[in-house]
Amino acid sequence: GGLHGVGVSVVNALSSKLQLKVWRDDKEHFVEFAHGDAVAPLKVVGDAHGKRGTEVTFLASTETFKNVEYDFATLEHRLRELAFLNSGVNIILSDMRHAVEKREEMHYSGGVEEFVKYLDRNKKAIVPAPIMVRSEMNGLGVEAALWWNDSYHENVLCFTNNIPQRDGGTHLAGFRGALTRQVNGYAEANA
């Protein structure tokens, strides 16, 4: 799950080094921490030149963790999910532990519809494009994308506020019930 908005604070507390670059209000801001304490206060280091966003660089503390080896593929998988779920953001994963930097840039403007296409890229689609539903009510948004293929197995991914719901939860149960009602209703009306 998530950390309820305190993620960078926790990462900072558990890191030997953490650097933040923030581009906002047309300025580039920088702050660095060592073992959870600020090395110097947040400062403006230049103009943003139209850039917006946050860059986080950290080294996990070997005093806290016995193993600080990251699995690039695991991080890439999760960050790719976030790039799809947050349409239009740029996420860059850099591994600078070796002589040659390993780097993956992820940017998807198509959101969950593009996510479904990515997941099914090696399957034969039965319909030409995913079915995409977007709605908002009372400030709450929902998106769903479905695409049938020639596989005999389903692949259903559910997320709430970017957090994977591995069992689907009540969201999936409600969606399945509504989809079944609609398909059955259509079949009965057109029999």
Q: Look up residue 175 and give its amino acid.
A: F
pTM flag (> 0.75): yes
CA distance 128 to 68: 45
CA nearest 65: which of 110, 102, 14, 31? 14
Q: State the CB neighbour count (10 A cutoff) for residue 22.
A: 18
CA nearest 43: which of 64, 55, 29, 53? 29
Per-residue tens of pLDDT for the chain, all 191 residues:
555 567 788 999 999 999 999 999 999 999 999 999 999 999 999 999 999 999 999 999 999 999 988 899 999 999 999 999 999 999 999 988 889 999 999 999 999 999 999 999 999 999 999 999 999 999 998 899 999 999 999 999 999 989 999 888 888 999 899 999 999 999 999 98
CA distance 73 to 159: 20
* Domains present along the chain, CATH in parentheses: 7-107 (3.30.565.10), 111-189 (3.30.230.10)
